[in-house]
Amino acid sequence: MGKARASNAFLQVGAIVVAILLTTLVLLAAKAPPLAAYANIVLGAVGSWDVAANVLVSWVPLLLATAGLLITFTAGLWNIGIEGQITLGAIFTTWMLRGLQTSGIDPSLIIPLSIVAGMAGGALWALLAGALKTFGGVNEIFGGLGLNFVASALNLWLIFGPWKRPGVASMSGTVPFAPSLWLPTISAQSRLSPAALLLALCAIVVVYMLLQGTHFGLRLKAVGKNPNAAYLLGVPTWQHMMTSFALCGIFAGLAGAVQVTSVYHRLIPSISSGYGYLGLMVAMLAGFRAALVAPVALFFAALNVGSIQLPIVLRQDSSLAGVLQGTLVLFVLLAQGLRQRLAGRG
């Protein structure tokens, strides 16, 4: 037992070392000084209170998206459509804010209402992917991808059409909302909202408890492991799949709502910022364990924020963060396979 655990730890660490080595090779291939690049990322993520706060700002949507994805993963579903669900969350939030901003209702009521609208929007989009899957036989990966493109088209149409800025529509998004409609942040310059942070932390705790400590979580696991067997044992399969889609959509919609109310204060073209896809990577790297999601998501957020300065300081593309994240997940998957193979032989 102890030996197996030691070799597991060895493989995990080995995977991380190999991933970093490979990323270093990529840096050398791009004629970039690797140490300077890594130092730049670390400084860019924790070098000052401001950048550290920015890491938390990007941690929030990533944590929310991953929390939702854990539910669909448990049900055995690949909810790639989460990007569109985040976008729809942002669209519904903007819609509600636009509708109520001149109504005279107190902002302290408008903000929660619009956030709830965002959650509903995300759930709606997720249910659409779920319905395509359960009733139309369309694989959730392709249904979801298609819906992602539709969501971004809808978003662009709104920004360039009905919700365009007075005068000329532009890629910079819709007219910003009045500051009274923003989620309060820790300081006037910062985009870090304590309320959003709290929501994200609650989300991951709720998902952890839902999956670990409830009957529903157990049945969802049964559906994910073997839908046919679960069905024969009396677990209504499609209802559970739809519920898991809806729940994931709610968290994704919340992520979109947070982006609108506390980060951008308006609707922008790429409002989902790839957090949904990144959330899939976080969930995989965390081995689909809720307890590990928060630290892994924090690390990924730090890599993203840390690499923003790369183009300015080292004239390198900031996609280096994605290269490192991708190789990490890839090699952790490979190490996992290697471990299972070794265990199977021994």
State the burial class of residue 343 (Cβ atoms within 10 Å of its Cβ: 0-12, 13-18, 19+).
exposed
329 makes contact with other proteins (CB under 8 A): yes
Q: How far apart are CA 26 and CA 60, in angstroms?
A: 30
Q: Residue 199 or residue 271: which is nearer to other proteins going by CB? A: 271
139 makes contact with other proteins (CB under 8 A): yes
144-183 residues in contact with other proteins (CB under 8 A) are 145-147, 149-150, 152-153, 156-157, 160-161
316 makes contact with other proteins (CB under 8 A): yes
3-state secondary structure of 261: helix
Q: How far apart are CA 27 and CA 50, in angstroms?
A: 27
Q: Residue 190 or residue 336: which is nearer to other proteins going by CB? A: 336
Give me the 278-297 binding string for other proteins, x by CB under 8 A, dash otherwise. Answer: --xx--x-------------
CB atoms closer than 10 angstroms to residue 20: 16
Q: Residue 197 or residue 280: which is nearer to other proteins going by CB? A: 280
Min dist CB 145 to other proteins, Å, is 5
Q: Cβ neighbours of residue 179 under 8 Å, at least 6 residues apart?
A: 265
H or E element in which residue 295 lies: helix 290-306
For CA atoms 128, 130, 133, 136, give the dihedral sign.
negative
Q: How far apart are CA 264 and CA 115, in angstroms?
A: 14
Cα Dmax for the chain: 71
Q: If we measure between CA atoms, which residue out of 326, 329, 306, 327 comes closest to residue 318?
A: 306
72-111 residues in contact with other proteins (CB under 8 A) are 78, 80
333 makes contact with other proteins (CB under 8 A): yes
CB atoms closer than 10 angstroms to residue 45: 24
Q: Residue 243 or residue 304: which is nearer to other proteins going by CB? A: 304
State both tokens at 67: 């929390």
43 makes contact with other proteins (CB under 8 A): no
- Which regions of 22-69 does DSSP assign to beta strands (E)? none
Q: Residue 51 or residue 169: which is nearer to other proteins going by CB? A: 169
Among 18, 26, 51, 127, the residue binding other proteins under the rule CB under 8 A is: 26
Could you tell me how many residues of this chain bind other proteins (CB under 8 A)?
50
305 makes contact with other proteins (CB under 8 A): no
Min dist CB 333 to other proteins, Å, is 5
Give me the 209-238 binding string for other proteins, x by CB under 8 A, dash otherwise. Answer: ------------------------------
Q: Residue 197 or residue 329: which is nearer to other proteins going by CB? A: 329
CA angle at residue 73 from 69 to 79, to 5 degrees? Answer: 60
Q: Residue 56 or residue 281: which is nearer to other proteins going by CB? A: 281
State both tokens at 5: 């655990």
Contact positions vs other proteins (CB under 8 A):
26, 29-31, 78, 80, 132, 135-139, 141-143, 145-147, 149-150, 152-153, 156-157, 160-161, 277, 280-281, 284, 315-317, 319-323, 325-327, 329-330, 333-334, 336-338, 340-341
